[in-house]
Amino acid sequence: MATQSNPALQDAPQAGRRDFLYIATAAVGAVGVAGAVWPLINQLNPDASVLALASIEFDLSGIATGQSVTIKWRGLPVFVRNRTPEEVAAALAVPMSDLKDPQTDQERTKAGHEQWLIMIANCTHLGCIPVGESGEFGGWACPCHGSQFDTAGRIRKGPAPTNLVVPPYEFISDTLVQIG
Amino acid sequence: MAHESSYVPGNFVEKWIDDRLPIIRWSKEHLMDYPTPKNLNYWWTFGAILAFMLAVQIITGIVLAMHYTPQIGLAFDSVEHIRRDVNGGRIIQSVHATGASMFFAAMYIHMFRGLYFGSYKAPREVIWILGVLLFVLVVTTAFMGYVLPWGQMSFWAATVITNIVGAIPVIGTPILELLRGGFAVDNATLNRFFSLHYLLPFVIAAVVALHIWALHVPGNNNPIGVEVKSSRETVPFHPYYTMKDLFAVVVFCIPFAWFAFFAPDILGHPDNYIMANSQVTPAHIVPEWYFLPFYAILRAIDFNILFIDSKLGGVIFFAGAILVLFVVPWLDTSKVRSGTFRPIFKWFFWLFIANFVFLTWLGSAPAEGIYVLLSKVATAYYFIYFLIVLPLLGRFETPRPLPTSISEAVLAKHESPVTAQPVTASH
């Protein structure tokens, strides 16, 4: 090439200016490519139809004491349990020092509705659904990797790092709850 | 192996093509005349078996995609439709499903062959690294393929495995939602897994091409691990190894055919004949057998390590079990390639193989009682082998004397009863 055969050009002051042009062109090109790639990645994120289901209402009146139901919120299964007084008492009796992820029973329920335990049903380990009223602590036991939860859904034993997650929810009336 | 081609275009047409696209010259150099050590044993046929299996999976997969529907309401039924209604679909589907198992069986043997004969040592590190990359790609592809029938095991495998990503601090949850396309495994997840399951085999084929390209630079390793010294120690790839590989493929097809024709479900789980249900987890979820060793390692970490919780710890060991393979060429300090000449290495190697099989069994056992403890012991040995045994053994072990050449080793093997006569290697 002509530029290679002319050493004067390479040593000339223009070389710095030319380097700048190369870097500037490459930088603009990189930004352009990143801008084009982002929509292709972002399309993988939850879409509008998934996000539209962010909030649901659920009627509790049909659930007797000691009964659990599993409902669906944002595609996730959610446990709604009407706990027996013994289960509430057992949860309250646990000292904080026994817990891997310390949380009181009051922090996991709403004042005045302590019998209702509402939490996302996926084990915080790898997402399996624990089986209710089983395990050493009378709460939930995960069949996949052996995590055990107490009657407040708190992790007591096994690989799960945290308690079962309580979703944001509030009581609209005594029997109607809004999740999300 | 750098060598001049002996190809001479045979006629006017070949000459015309050779001047424009030297594809016949290339084929002759790399597929036919390629010089191959004359002492390769049957462990060396698994490369060809794997190439055959990749072709089988791609061809059956393309055909299955003509009848499969990647939609959560229809996917499960469409697989049943393939098995019951599509002409020959029962066999095509079972060849593809059991083909995955045969693929992994061949791949594990191929990898263990490399580990025993030191095929990863200089100058073949890049071949090994590309091979580990292929392993990761095949694992990913097989996992996504297993999700497609949308049975209970499909769904919960997808849930558990994608959740592994969620263990990464801070960015874990956003990445998890990005992977799934929702807050849980759902239709968006199934659709993208189908798309990627169709794409990745072609990526694998491309990396296989690089793997073979890298192989053809230094040439094959061989059972004694001593480099080829002259062209008299090699034979042309065709017909010597094309025929040997073909014979091995035929033998390999015997168990493959048995699985596909007579026992298509023997390696599967009955739960996968129940349609996916996001509300109920099967009582005992187990991955496919070829993932069990790594699954056992994932479950073995049920305790916190300093500030790392048990969940992230399990994921680190799980990923580490595969990532450690990438650096094996630099962990093994022994100058001797072949395990045949390493008396102490052999013991650790076969213990490693036994331990790997043991981990497979532990992965299928429930996560309770003695199994948890045994998983921890077996996981420890898996890492000790790579991180402690391989680096130290090279320093302390005295290898047996190596043959000076492939020819010497071959002759010693065949003429040892008549050592009284001087070997005249003149023929």
Q: What is the pLDDT of residues B227-265, one digit of tens each?
A: 999 999 999 999 999 999 999 999 999 999 999 999 999
A109 and A89 share one domain: yes
**What value does the mean pLDDT take over residues A40-45?**
91
To test the contact with chain B by mutation, choose from A41, A145, A155, A157 the residue with the greatest count of B C-beta atoms within 10 A, namely: A145
Among B160, B183, B188, the residue with its CB nearest the CB of A128 is: B160
Domain at B30, CATH number: 1.20.810.10
**What value does the mean pLDDT take over residues A83-110?**
89
The answer to whether position A112 is within a domain reads yes
**What value does the mean pLDDT take over residues B144-157?**
95
Give residue for tokens 């790639």.
A37
A173 and A127 share one domain: yes
Report the gap between the CA of A6 and the closest CA in chain B (Å): 34
A86 and A30 share one domain: no
Confidence class of residue A12 from pLDDT cuts 50, 70 and 90? low
CA dihedral angle for residue B275, residue B281, residue B282, residue B285, rounded to 10 degrees: 110
Quote the Cα angle for B33-B36-B42, to 5°: 125
Side-by-side strand order, sheet with A56-59 = A56-59, A176-179, A169-171
pLDDT, tens digit (0-9, with 9 covering 90-100), for B350-371 = 999 999 999 999 999 887 789 9
The answer to whether position A105 is within a domain reads yes
Contact between B285 and A146 using a beta-carbon 8 Å cutoff? no
The answer to whether position B299 is within a domain reads no
Among A128, A130, A146, the residue with its CB nearest the CB of B368 is: A146
Say if residues B90 and B96 touch (Cβ distance below 8 Å).
no
Total domains in chain B come to: 1
The answer to whether position B399 is within a domain reads no
A151 and A117 share one domain: yes
B273: exposed, middle or buried (Cβ count in 10 Å: 0-12, 13-18, 19+):
middle
Active site annotation includes A145: yes
Q: Between helices B125-147 and B89-116, what is the axis angle to 10°?
A: 150
Contact between B311 and A125 using a beta-carbon 8 Å cutoff? yes
A60 and A37 share one domain: no
To test the contact with chain B by mutation, choose from A38, A41, A50 the residue with the greatest count of B C-beta atoms within 10 A, namely: A50
In this model, does residue B173 exceed pLDDT 90? no
A22 and A93 share one domain: no
Confidence class of residue B76 from pLDDT cuts 50, 70 and 90? very high
Range of the domain at B212: 22-281
The answer to whether position B415 is within a domain reads no
A74 and A141 share one domain: yes
A56 and A40 share one domain: no
B164 contacts on A by Cβ (under 8 Å): 126
The answer to whether position B165 is within a domain reads yes
Catalytic residue among A145, A167, A176, A178: A145
A67 and A135 share one domain: yes
The answer to whether position A31 is within a domain reads yes
**Confidence at residue B286, expressed as pLDDT on a 0 to 100 scale:** 87
pLDDT, tens digit (0-9, with 9 covering 90-100), for A128-147 = 899 988 888 889 998 888 88
- Chain A residue whose CA is closest to B163: A126
Start-to-end Cα distance in chain A: 67
The answer to whether position B398 is within a domain reads no
- pTM across the whole model: 0.88
**Confidence at residue B275, expressed as pLDDT on a 0 to 100 scale:** 96
In this model, does residue B30 exceed pLDDT 80? yes
The answer to whether position B230 is within a domain reads yes
Report the gap between the CA of A91 and the closest CA in chain B (Å): 24
Among B160, B162, B302, the residue with its CB nearest the CB of A158 is: B302
A145 and A73 share one domain: yes
Range of the domain at A40: 7-45
A153 and A132 share one domain: yes
The answer to whether position B249 is within a domain reads yes
Q: Say which residue, B214 or A90, is predicted with more confidence.
A: B214
Total domains in chain A come to: 2
A59 and A37 share one domain: no
The answer to whether position B131 is within a domain reads yes
**Confidence at residue A138, expressed as pLDDT on a 0 to 100 scale:** 87
**Confidence at residue A32, expressed as pLDDT on a 0 to 100 scale:** 94
- Chain A residue whose CA is closest to B181: A46
Among A47, A75, A143, the residue with its CB nearest the CB of B281 is: A143
- Using DSSP, state whether B266 is helix, strand or coil: coil
**What value does the mean pLDDT take over residues A156-168?**
88
The alpha-carbon radius of gyration of chain A (Å, integer) is 28
Domain at A131, CATH number: 2.102.10.10
* DSSP symbol at A175: S
Say if residues B330 and B124 touch (Cβ distance below 8 Å).
no
**What value does the mean pLDDT take over residues B265-274?**
92
- Chain A residue whose CA is closest to B299: A145
**Confidence at residue B426, expressed as pLDDT on a 0 to 100 scale:** 45
